[in-house]
Structure 1
Amino acid sequence: MAAPTIVVVEDENSLRSDMIEYLANCGFDAVGARNGIELDRILGERTASVVILDVNLPDEDGFKIAARLRDTQGAGIIMVTARSSTVDRVVGLEIGADAYLVKPVELRELEAQVKSLLRRLSERAAETPSPLPPAASAETQGADGGDEARWTLDPTEWSLTSPAGARISLTSMEMKLTSLLAGQARKPATRDQISQALYSRRWNPEDRSIDTVVGRLRHKVEGAIGGTAPLKSVHGVGYVFSAPIRVLGGP
């Protein structure tokens, strides 16, 4: 079995070389790129499992590259930057990065993040749910069929499982959002509650980042279950997870 390809996008030559050498010694097929143009060339020749992406790159910054990778590639994204502000971290995760590391990066931590992300991506790829017929589907079973079917949230594995068994891997932001909604017991969470949970700040009516996170999660869930996600907008309030949900390890 071929080793996973890891692309390190970093314009600092010594750091890029160190990361490539370390990852190669860990058994990965590690290659380097100095910028987005070189990354595109590599991705045109091979499929990457994970892209380790520096934020502060010449010409096209890491945030822009991450956004288009998320739209066109199935690779996991680990962002690396010298910036340590919460805003930069939030932007990276909102774009769809799977992990975010601040320089100076401990190479053992980088290795652990890559292995953890590859494991989650492998589990996600193995998810091939077969929707049940509507009459028998656990997604549509209601009170007439006895106990109402429950979704399951696993805080350890960052995953959400539908009543029919479709398992959806979550990003950090998606996990925070789902945890909040699960704790609301099918009552709406206000946008201010969501903003505090995701970003530790009050909601700004001009900020659309919450809708971006919700939209990405809804799209991911609907793609996995082949139906409508129980993630609903409540006009003038916020959002609600409208189906019963159980949090593993919870009461």
Structure 2
Amino acid sequence: MPSPSPRTGLRIHVIEDDEDIRAETVFALGELGFDAQGFADAPSFYKAFALQPCDIAVVDIGLPGESGLEIVSHLRTTRRLGLVLVTARGRLEDRLLGLREGADAYLVKPVNMMELAETLHAVGRRLFAEGTMDDGKAAAPAAPPQAAEWRLQEGDWILGDPEGRQMVLTTSERAFLGCLFRQRGHAVSRDDLIRALGGDVFDFDEHRIDAIASRLRRKAAKLGMRLPVHSVRGTGYVFAN
């Protein structure tokens, strides 16, 4: 049996009314190094949150009583913390609504626990960088502004360029670019890109990788964006500008 992962220091509250999913998520996150607790509805979550706030809340939308969207909207107006929506609602309109309500990320069920963990790590890094994580210490002085650059925002569902233009991404485009962004400036293998897309490296049409890259370039060109995604012969792709 593999050893438990090192502790992350992140306190996670999981609000999910399905008992099995809640228990599995809390257990998996605990094994991956998070301090995780589960709650079946908004009232039980709010009670625990008042006693000991979490760093990031993982919220199902379809909760009894107060919905996940209402929880996210309420928390975003009262306190700065990480908010991740996890739901079976996968339409683009639903994802955009969740992000507009204040979610940092939006994941569609069934969720791979490794993807959820990486999402929590990413949200945690942003909170620490912004000085909003409650670690008992005063926030560090703000760093001087940096030159504008390419960025993934709104839970990585929107790509922004240095000139401020934005492009909404599909699920596969988000996974593809997210993988390239994590290794920006370095070539990413086709196998790694296939895994990021949830595929099996032994049973996957590699032409899909090229099709996604081509589609992204075309979409970007229509918006006046010069997308720095380049093919690397014999390896895969690289995001380098």
Structure 1 residue 155 corresponds to structure 2 residue 161: no
RCO higher in structure (CA 8 A, sep ≥6): 1
Q: 2:187 corresponds to which residue?
A: none
CA contact (8 A) 2:60 2:86 kept: yes
Q: 1:129 corresponds to which residue?
A: 142
Shift of 1:59: 0.5
CA contact (8 A) 2:56 2:120 kept: yes
Shift of 1:74: 1.6
Q: 1:99 corresponds to which residue?
A: 105
Partner deviation per Cα, 1:126-172 (whole Å, 9 max, x = no partner):
562389xxxxxxxxxxxxxxxxxx8622335x5xxxxxxxxxxx534
Cα distance in 1, alignment partners of residues 22 and 69 from structure 2 = 18
**SS in structure 1 at match of 2:161:** helix
TM (normalized to structure 1)? 0.56
In our comparison, the structure showing a higher alpha carbon Rg is 1
Instruction: Note closer, same or farther for the CA distance 1:151–1:68 as it changes in structure 2 (3 Å cut).
Output: same
Shift of 1:80: 0.5
TM (normalized to structure 2)? 0.58
**SS in structure 2 at match of 1:42:** helix
Show the 5 A alignment for 1:196-207.
Answer: 197-198=167-168
Cα distance in 1, alignment partners of residues 62 and 147 from structure 2 = 38
Partner deviation per Cα, 1:174-194 (whole Å, 9 max, x = no partner):
964x538535xxxxxxxxxx7
Q: Runs of 5+ in structure 2 lacking a partner? A: 1-6, 132-138, 171-226, 229-238
Partner deviation per Cα, 1:15-44 (whole Å, 9 max, x = no partner):
000010111112211001111111101110
Show the 5 A alignment for 1:35-50.
Answer: 35-50=41-56
CA contact (8 A) 1:99 1:113 kept: yes
Q: Which amino acid aligns with 2:164?
A: A
Q: 1:171 corresponds to which residue?
A: 154
CA contact (8 A) 2:22 2:38 kept: yes
One of 46, 49, 54 as aligned partner of 2:60:
54
Cα distance in 1, alignment partners of residues 124 and 140 from structure 2 = 14
CA contact (8 A) 1:155 1:175 kept: no
Q: 1:68 corresponds to which residue?
A: 74
Cα distance in 1, alignment partners of residues 114 and 169 from structure 2 = 28
Q: Which amino acid aligns with 1:182?
A: G
Structure 1 residues 13-22 or 108-117, which shifts more?
A: 108-117
**SS in structure 2 at match of 1:52:** strand
Amino-acid identity (%):
28
CA contact (8 A) 2:16 2:59 kept: yes
Cα distance in 2, alignment partners of residues 85 and 174 from structure 1 = 12
Shift of 1:10: 0.1
Q: How big is the alpha-carbon RMSD for the aligned residues of Structure 1 and Structure 2?
A: 3.1
Cα distance in 1, alignment partners of residues 8 and 119 from structure 2 = 20
Cα distance in 2, alignment partners of residues 173 and 28 from structure 1 = 22
Q: 1:87 corresponds to which residue?
A: 93
Cα distance in 2, alignment partners of residues 29 and 58 from structure 1 = 25
Instruction: Note closer, same or farther for the CA distance 1:130–1:35 as it changes in structure 2 (3 Å cut).
Output: same
CA contact (8 A) 2:14 2:26 kept: yes
Q: Which amino acid aligns with 2:150?
A: P
Show the 5 A alignment for 1:5-20.
Answer: 5-20=11-26
**SS in structure 1 at match of 2:107:** strand
Aligned residues: 162
